Chain A
Amino acid sequence: AQKVTQAQTEISVVEKEDVTLDCVYETRDTTYYLFWYKQPPSGELVFLIRRNSFDEQNEISGRYSWNFQKSTSSFNFTITASQVVDSAVYFCALSEAGNTDKLIFGTGTRLQVFP
């Protein structure tokens, strides 16, 4: 069965600290896709990144970086030099190749960045 686990319910940091959000997934498929979404206090869901199961290269986008490790079924997200604007709930999600590409979401990690 497919499952996404975000064990960290809430993380609090002070501005400029680095923070890593953990994501562990379960799937029987060999082809799958992993996503991160951000939900700021205003409520919308903002797409951040998509990764397919055949591409284990880490990715960096500005202060954001992602570490995908198939050996541990993890897709962790690091924010470097966090800012108050990074305060949000972050969701990791999984979709599998097949007739439907519905997203299976984790329960989310609430990140609070204090000035």
Chain B
Amino acid sequence: DSGVTQTPKHLITATGQRVTLRCSPRSGDLSVYWYQQSLDQGLQFLIQYYNGEERAKGNILERFSAQQFPDLHSELNLSSLELGDSALYFCASSSGTNQPQHFGDGTRLSIL
């Protein structure tokens, strides 16, 4: 158990819809990262937050947004969903810069 909790584990929805993925980091970790794993793109960094502030953005679509709340949990919002958004979305947290990132079990998103 990594200590990082992601909900839900599975999500099935239709094109055009909006979903919210939730992540609770390990106790004490201030950094939260979101990654997308798909068959064609592999594991790709989306966005990073540190103590409530956005720190870095990767290949994140404009239809996607995220935030980190004062209690340090984070949410990833995906809107106007397309078939190509079907993927496994991971959240990770770490205790400091360049420390190991510990990953949640992921949310598997299926767009029908």
Contact among A44, A97, A104 for B45, CB-based, below 8 A: A104
Complex CA distance for A44 and B37, rounded to whole angstroms: 11
For B99, the chain A residues whose CB sits under 8 A away are 50, 101
Complex CA distance for A45 and B2, rounded to whole angstroms: 9
For B104, the chain A residues whose CB sits under 8 A away are 44
Flag if A50 contacts B103 (CB, 8 Å).
Answer: no
Return the CB mask of A17-50 against B: 1 if under 8 Å, else 0.
0000000000000000101010000011111001
Contact among B45, B55, B106 for A103, CB-based, below 8 A: B45
- B interface residue numbers (CB < 8 A to A): 2, 31, 33, 35, 42-45, 48, 55-56, 58, 88, 90, 92, 94, 97-106, 108
Chosen A-B contacts, 11 in total, with CB atoms closer than 8 Å, are A37-B103, A43-B88, A44-B105, A46-B103, A50-B98, A91-B43, A95-B98, A103-B33, A103-B45, A107-B42, A108-B43
B contact face: mostly helix, strand, loop, or mixed? strand
Q: How far is the CB of B84 from chain A (nearest CB, A)?
A: 19
Flag if B102 contacts A47 (CB, 8 Å).
Answer: yes
For B33, the chain A residues whose CB sits under 8 A away are 102-103
For A90, the chain B residues whose CB sits under 8 A away are none
A: contact size bracket: 20 to 34
Flag if A105 contacts B101 (CB, 8 Å).
Answer: no
Q: How far is the CB of A109 from chain B (nearest CB, A)?
A: 12
Q: How far is the CB of B33 from chain A (nearest CB, A)?
A: 7
A72 contacts the other chain (CB 8 A): no
Contact among A43, A102, A104, A107 for B48, CB-based, below 8 A: A102
19 extra interface residue pairs, beta carbon distance < 8 Å, beyond A47-B103, A105-B42: A33-B98, A35-B100, A43-B88, A43-B105, A44-B103, A44-B104, A45-B92, A46-B103, A47-B2, A91-B43, A95-B98, A97-B97, A99-B55, A99-B56, A101-B31, A101-B48, A101-B94, A102-B48, A102-B58
For B43, the chain A residues whose CB sits under 8 A away are 91, 103, 105, 108
For B103, the chain A residues whose CB sits under 8 A away are 37, 44-47
